[in-house]
Amino acid sequence: MDINEKYENDVMILELKGRLDANTSEQLEKKLIPPIDNDKYLKIIIDFADLEYISSAGLRLLLLAAKKLDKKDGKIVLCAMQDFIKEVFEISGFTPIFPITEDQKKALAKF
pTM above 0.75, yes or no: yes
16-45 confidence digits (pLDDT tens): 999 999 999 999 999 999 999 999 999 999
Q: Which pLDDT score is estimated for 94? A: 93
Q: Which pLDDT score is estimated for 60? A: 96
Q: How far is the C-alpha of 85 from the C-alpha of 51, rounded, in Å?
A: 8
Q: How far is the C-alpha of 107 from the C-alpha of 86, rounded, in Å?
A: 16
Q: In total, how many domains does the chain have?
A: 1
Exposure string of 36-70, with b = 16+ CB inside 10 Å and e = fewer, is beeeebbbbbbbbeebeebbebbbebbeebbebbe
Q: How far is the C-alpha of 61 from the C-alpha of 73, rounded, in Å?
A: 18
CATH of the domain at 92: 3.30.750.24
The stretch 45-73 carries a mean pLDDT of 96
Q: How far is the C-alpha of 110 from the C-alpha of 13, rounded, in Å?
A: 13
Domain of 58 in residue numbering reads as: 2-109
